[in-house]
Amino acid sequence: MEGYRPAGWLPVKATMGFEDVPASPTQRYAALFMAALLVISTCSALLTGNVAGPEIKPFIPITVTTWLLADLLTAFLLLAQFYVNGRIMIALLALAYAFSGSMSVAYVGVFPGVFQPPNLPLAAQQVSVSLWLLWHSTFPLLVIAASFNDAKVGRLVSRRAIELVTLLAAVAPAVGTVLVVAFLLTFSRALPLLVADGTFQPFFRTVAIPAVVALNGLASVVLLLRRRRFTALSLWLAVATLAAALDAMLNLSAARYTYAWDVGKVIAVVTACTVLLAMLSDVVALYGRLARIARLDPLTSLANRRAFEEHFDVVMHSVRRGLRGVALLMVDIDLFKRYNDSYGHAAGDDCLRRVAATLALGTGRSRDLVARYGGEEFVVLLPDTTVLGAREVAEKMRRGVEALELGSEPAQRRVTVSIGIAYAPDARLVRDEELFESADRALYQAKDFGRNRVVLGNLVQSQAPDKVAPLPFPSGRTWKSTASSPEVQ
């Protein structure tokens, strides 16, 4: 059937992920500071870092475990984003981090002095160094490939294709690592001589390490220059690849358990953790945005009904403990259906937005809340107020909407609001539903009395100790401003 979409289908072209978020000035300064700190630490280690330090045997397992967890968590978060938006760039980055994590496991498995004896035979040493080279060269190559992937066309829209690529990206790194290790173990004697008796050979120093440094440096430059929009993801990826390049430089000159060697391992941790921390920060910010969105009315940007009910519960508990008064205002746009039918839904939406903004301006205290309650109806909560204060706020709102002059001439056809007030001088003596019922009755009285007016509703003390008695203010009173001060009608 044309136009049919299976359950769970998402318009992936409309989604926005971490790769779309522009880098903020704060992020730029933070990344610049981190890059400068990495460069300074590396230069210091290269100049004075060959001083032997304490031989801390758990240091390598700890750092490798950190690399592994950080790489795999980053790969998982990236793969989750790809599953949502189908961007091939994100899949490539997820593959880069997943392969880096699986290679770190293989590397530490054959590294001398961890799970293997310190004095490995030549073939095992060759495998260890070869794994390190593949690990540190594959990552920047995949990052560069992702950078050249255009965001507009490099996207999958088929849900089945996205699921297949997600599965491949999750499985391929582990399978690829196993195959690489098997190949290196099988053909270890045919590999170029990279290390002998624990000492790096000239080919490793003059060709292999410079190539790794160049690849990671190139990845940083490509990330900073290739993307049309400088995003937070490209910024932190550039820092990560810069850290990888500096780590490779330190591996060129540092002996094991020296200051430079230790600094190199710390920088490698930075490589693994930089993008992860940035993405986790984005996730935290996303939770905040989702919390706000869940409590906002999308049309008027006021609090929605759910947010109002949560705020109402908290405020009512507070005013009851403090023995204070509370007012509840129900506001309804007069003859809104007629306005909507006359001017169209677009004009009706604009009317709702402008009325909502006017109502919001009518309150100024932090615990006051204006919310859209449904359709053209709004609700206002005013804790710690008097009945005169509630009336003044309601009149200010009514006059403000009337002054908008929405609608046509004559003035009787312009948009106005009717407002019903429920007021309890002691919030302990009324139930929540009584406030709403009283405000709702007062609103209907305002409609019956001719609209465009404020009515103070009648509220009884249902929990009075001796008998039910009216609260000490008159009921059924309406106000409509015809001069500088409202008159009672």
Domain map (residue ranges) of the chain: 12-294, 305-480
What are the pLDDT digits (tens) for 400-418? 999 988 876 665 568 899 9
DSSP at 12? G
Residues 275 and 32: their CA atoms lie apart, in Å, by 15
Residue 290: per-residue pLDDT = 82
Residue 259's pLDDT band, with cuts at 50, 70 and 90, is confident
Q: Is the pLDDT of residue 129 over 60?
A: yes
Question: How far is 329 from 40, CA to CA, in rounded Å?
Answer: 62
The pLDDT of residue 53 is 66
Res 4 pLDDT > 60: no
CATH number of the structural domain 12-294:
1.20.1070
Q: What is the DSSP letter of 407?
A: B
Domain 305-480 has CATH 3.30.70.270: yes
Cα distance between residue 64 and residue 103, in whole Å: 10
Residue 403 burial (10 A CB sphere; 0-12, 13-18, 19+)? exposed
The pLDDT value recorded for residue 271 is 87
Task: Select the highest-mean-pLDDT range: 110-114, 158-162, 348-352.
Answer: 348-352
Q: What integer pLDDT is reported at residue 5 of this predicted model?
A: 41
In this model, does residue 14 exceed pLDDT 70? no
The pLDDT tens digits of the residues spanning 288-340 come to 888 888 889 999 999 999 999 999 999 998 888 887 889 999 999 998 988 88
**Sequence-distant (≥ 6) Cβ neighbours of residue 425 within 8 angstroms:** 325, 386, 387, 471, 472, 473
**Minimum mean pLDDT range among 20-24, 187-191, 472-476:** 472-476
- Least confident range from 194-198, 355-359, 398-402, 473-477: namely 473-477
Residue 351's pLDDT is 93
Distance of CA 329 to the CA centre of its chain: 35
Residue 254 has pLDDT above 90, yes or no: no
- Rounded to whole angstroms, how far apart are CA atoms 322 and 325? 9
What is the per-residue pLDDT across 55-99, written as a single tens digit (0 to 9) for each?
A: 777 777 788 888 889 999 999 999 998 988 888 889 999 999 999
Q: What are the structure tokens assigned to 484, written together?
A: 């500088």
Residue 447 pLDDT grade (very low, low, confident, very high; cuts 50, 70, 90)? very high
> 3-class DSSP state for residue 451?
coil
Q: Report phi then psi at 33, rounded to 5.
A: -65, -45
Averaged pLDDT score across all residues of the chain: 82
- pLDDT digit string (tens) for 362-375? 888 888 999 999 88
Q: Which residues are CB-neighbours of 448 under 8 A, at least 6 positions away?
A: none
What is the pTM assigned to this prediction? 0.69
Tell me which amino acid residue 65 is. T
Find the range with the poorest average confidence among 209-223, 224-238, 334-348, 376-390: 224-238
Which pLDDT value is given to residue 238?
A: 93
Average pLDDT over residues 241-257: 81
How confident is the model at residue 252, as a pLDDT? 67
Hey, do 12-294 and 305-480 end up sharing a CATH topology, with the first three levels equal? Answer: no
- Asked whether residue 460 carries a pLDDT value surpassing 60, the answer given is no
Which residues fall within 8 angstroms of residue 149, CB to CB, at 6 or more apart? 87, 88, 89, 92
Residue pair 209/251 in contact (Cβ under 8 Å)? The answer is yes
C-alpha to C-alpha distance for 359 and 342, rounded to whole angstroms: 23
